[in-house]
Amino acid sequence: MEQSFTVKIHFTALVFLFYLFKTFKMKQKNSVSMAVVNPHAAGIDVGSRQHYVAVGQEPQDVRTFNVYTKDHKALIEWLQQKRIVTVALESTGTYWQTLFSSLQTAGFEVVLSNNYIKDPQRKTDTKDARWLQKMHTLGLLKHSFIPSADVARLRSYHRHRSNIVAAATAHTQHMQKALRLMNLRLDVVLSDLTGLSGTKIIEAILSGERSGEALSKLAHNRVKKSKQEIADSLQGDWKEEQLYILHDEWTMYKNCQQRIISCDQKIEALLKTMIQKTPPSLPQKAMTTKTAKEKNNHSKNAPNFNAAALSRDYFGVDLSRIEGVASNTVLTFISEVGSDIYKFPTMKNFTSWLRLAPNNKKTGDKVFSSRTPKGKSIMANAFRVAANTVAQRKDGVLKKIFSRIAYKKGRSAAITAVA
């Protein structure tokens, strides 16, 4: 009896061992091993107040640093002690930029990534840093587009200029509101309140003129409305508080115009410096003898210099010859991308980066979605504005493409396609 019981115990133990061995073999068969691409890699979860830095997957491999300059130096020293060669950063607002620059200056290979598979575990800053480090070690992170130093400087100037233009537009709207509340409907008889005629009339009002007939004589002869209608629109209730608001907004608007001129001077000077640095290998050297196409630079908010000529000297081609492309589009393109466009392997990569290419999703060799990816892009918006301008042209190659797509899929799809 005891012997039989002992045999059963041994048999059960053998079955259990066999089951463990089979399970282990199955796990080995189903496990996936990945090669280490970057053995000396670190991952940094960038924050607004603290940076979490991981040089490994153990808890002691993660340290926290503040965001001050001295903490950046301490972070760099710690990475050098750990013999780190390459660092991966998460693109978080504008908080990554100073750290990115400090790490590059220190000699690290820095990868900025904003499109990677998130950690399936519960999210914490420490786990994010370790996950970034793991993904970068296995070579699974893609580089984001980073402009060169000169293009980044030009981008800052141009975006600041755009902010000033937006502020000037807001002041114009406030002036329209002040005039409307006094029932002075200058916005009805003039297409542009801050144009030649509108400027003269507003300055006369602020100087004390209240006669509609006298104010109407200041309008240019090319204004479509009659002098009598302009005079009728300028008879209202002269409220003291609204006149004060009008004066204040007009002063701020003129200040914005002066700031735009000053910013344009900075942009033009930097562009000329960048042209001097242009390598001889670029095609611009063969085109310097040709004259760039002069376009009407009197359009509203256009740069106060010949952007077409500077783009010709910089790229070697006159970008303003493209249908719908104006000075603002050229300036936006140079400041957002510049000669760094050659960092993109193909034009398809560039279009995809702009989020203008259809995001085709296939299953079973069948496309079930081809929507354009969502996302904001200053350069893509500039191309869309240019494409919308193409629709207003009478003829041209792009005009024919626009009309054909608009007929089939609508105006919105045509704007995206032409852009």
Q: What's residue 1's pLDDT?
A: 52
Query: pLDDT-based confidence at 144, cuts 50/70/90?
Result: confident
Select from 132, 75, 130, 129 the least CA-distant residue to 106.
Answer: 75
Whether the pLDDT of residue 293 is over 50: the answer is: no
Query: pLDDT-based confidence at 16, cuts 50/70/90?
Result: low
Q: What's residue 116's pLDDT?
A: 64
Q: Cβ distance 115 to 135 under 8 Å?
A: no
Q: What's residue 294's pLDDT?
A: 47
Residue spans of the domains in the chain: they are 1-28, 41-137, 151-268, 361-418
Measured distance CA(408)–CA(406) in Å, rounded: 5
Does residue 43 or residue 12 have the better pLDDT?
43
Look over the chain and give the mean of its residue pLDDT values, rounded to a whole number.
Answer: 85
Question: Of 221-235, 280-294, 350-364, where does mean pLDDT reach its minimum?
Answer: 280-294
Query: pLDDT-based confidence at 369, cuts 50/70/90?
Result: confident
Cα 248 from chain centre = 33
Select from 77, 71, 80 the least CA-distant residue to 52.
Answer: 71
Does residue 342 or residue 364 have the better pLDDT?
342
Q: What's residue 387's pLDDT?
A: 92
Q: Cβ distance 234 to 215 under 8 Å?
A: yes
Query: pLDDT-based confidence at 288, cuts 50/70/90?
Result: very low
Query: pLDDT-based confidence at 289, cuts 50/70/90?
Result: very low
How much of the chain, in percent, has pLDDT values that exceed 90? 46
Whether the pLDDT of residue 3 is over 70: the answer is: no
Could you please state the CATH topology (level 3) that the domain comprising 41-137 is classified under.
Nucleotidyltransferase; domain 5 (3.30.420)
Residue-wise pLDDT for 55-80, tens only, equals 998 888 999 999 999 999 999 999 99
Query: pLDDT-based confidence at 290, cuts 50/70/90?
Result: very low
Q: What's residue 53's pLDDT?
A: 94
Task: Label each residue of the chain as H, E or C.
Answer: CHHHHHHHHHHHHHHHHHHHHHHHHHHHHHCCCCCCCCCCEEEEECCCCEEEEECCCCHHHEEEEECCHHHHHHHHHHHHHCCCCEEEEECCCCCHHHHHHHHHHCCCEEEEECCCCCCCCCCCHHHHHHHHHHHHHCCCCCCCCCCCHHHHHHHHHHHHHHHHHHHHHHHHHHHHHHHHHCCCCHHHHCCCCCCHHHHHHHHHHHCCCCCHHHHHCCCCCCCCCCHHHHHHHCCCCCCHHHHHHHHHHHHHHHHHHHHHHHHHHHHHHHHHHHHHCCCCCCHHHHCCCCCCCCCCCCCCCCCCCCHHHHHHHHHCCCHHHCCCCCHHHHHHHHHHCHHHHHHCCCHHHHHHHCCCCCCCEEECCEEEECCCCCCCCHHHHHHHHHHHHHCCCCCCHHHHHHHHHHHHHCHHHHHHHHC
Residue-wise pLDDT for 194-218, tens only, equals 989 999 999 999 999 999 899 989 9
Q: Cβ distance 314 to 334 under 8 Å?
A: yes
Does residue 153 or residue 291 have the better pLDDT?
153
Measured distance CA(64)–CA(54) in Å, rounded: 9
Query: pLDDT-based confidence at 114, cuts 50/70/90?
Result: confident
